[in-house]
Amino acid sequence: MPTAIGIQDITKTFGSGPTAATAVDHINLDIQPGELFFLLGPSGCGKTTLLRMIAGFIEPTGGRISFDGRDVTYLPPNKRNTGMVFQSYALWPHMSVETNVAFGLSIRKVAAADRDRRVAEALGAVRMSEYAKRKPNQLSGGQQQRVALARALVIRPDVLLLDEPLSNLDAKLRIELRSEIRRICKEAGITTVYVTHDQKEALSMADRVAIISRGQVVQLGPPAALYRNPQSKFVAEFLGETNFISANATATSIETQAGPLVSSHKPPTLGDCLISIRPEALRLTSSGPNRLSGKIVESTYLGEIAQYVVEVRPGLRLRAADLNPTATGHAIGDTIMLSVDPADVVLISNR
């Protein structure tokens, strides 16, 4: 049965007195059994510190961490049965692939026959069986990362922890390994906590995401819900490109820099607020709700998409995206009509 992780009011402060720095600030999370859970945020936000406290490498200043209700807050790493995959792979260069994978079983004194069978299963799960006799320096970066993942899985951990495992790989390989890592984690059924600063990684792989800023969780939920309904300016712009429009919300209407708009979302407060509209939500059409007219001032053709910057009012420029554009497309100086669905007009606090 997969393990549930409970994080209650966990805090980590480095140093003391006036120079003390709080890396993790009273975070509360309930991670479900078998969930692929992401900690997402910019560098220095506290996500890796939180992961290392779950692993037992760092002791918290306050709070509690539990696995299936069992308090593990101050247990050493070797008593937690967690598997860790590091950014740097951390493979033994003098050992073969299969010996690297078997290392954790050897120190646990698992019988040879059982050890060999489990190593073969782990290498099969990451599709590295044919490379069992090779040394790490004979493998590509992606292959080394698969071996590191097999080494973490072979001990049958209660919790799998991944610390930016794809950050050292090139862009194409990162994309290829996203689906592979998700497949492996879900097939193994292990509760997994994955740290990254890469929004696309989190959106494409996670069951749920906790977005962290300055040591606190600022929004939590499934990827699509976070992307389509951000609750703050930070979340909206951190997860991808967006257009911000100043607005004033009343009980019956929303007045904006671009004119009145209709939204299916409730404003966070009445009065001054911001509207977030993703570029792909602005459709190039003369029909539909929330129509805006403007002149193209920038145009970028990228094959599957054309990106436009459209000036809809003096000083107000919106980015729009045209999926599968025609060969001719639209040119700089063209006047075009834009339309946006009320569900894509998201109201957020202007703080």
Percent of the chain topping pLDDT 90: 69
Q: H or E stretch including 299? A: strand 291-301
- What local confidence, expressed as pLDDT, does residue 235 receive? 96
Is CATH 2.60.40.740 correct for 241-348?
A: no
Among 45, 24, 2, CA closest to 164? 45
Report the pLDDT averaged over residues 141-169.
90
Q: Give the mean pLDDT of the chain.
A: 92
Predicted confidence (pLDDT) per residue in 156-198, tens digit: 999 999 999 888 888 888 888 898 889 989 988 999 999 999 9
φ, ψ for residue 68, nearest 5 deg: 50, 40
Q: H or E stretch including 200? A: helix 199-205
Query: What is the chain's length?
Result: 351
Between residues 141 and 281, the one the model is more confident about: 281
Answer whether residue 211 shows pLDDT above 90.
yes
Answer whether residue 19 shows pLDDT above 80.
yes
Record the tokens describing residue 334, joined without a space. 């063209």
Q: Where are the domains of the chain?
A: 5-228, 241-348
Q: What is the DSSP letter of 226?
A: H
Count other Cβ atoms within 10 Å, centred on residue 57: 14
Predicted confidence (pLDDT) per residue in 312-337, tens digit: 999 999 999 988 887 677 889 999 99
3-state SS class at 47: helix
Q: Confirm if 59 and 74 have CB atoms less than 8 A apart.
A: yes
- What local confidence, expressed as pLDDT, does residue 351 receive? 67
- What local confidence, expressed as pLDDT, does residue 86 receive? 85
CATH number of 5-228: 3.40.50.300
- What local confidence, expressed as pLDDT, does residue 296 receive? 95
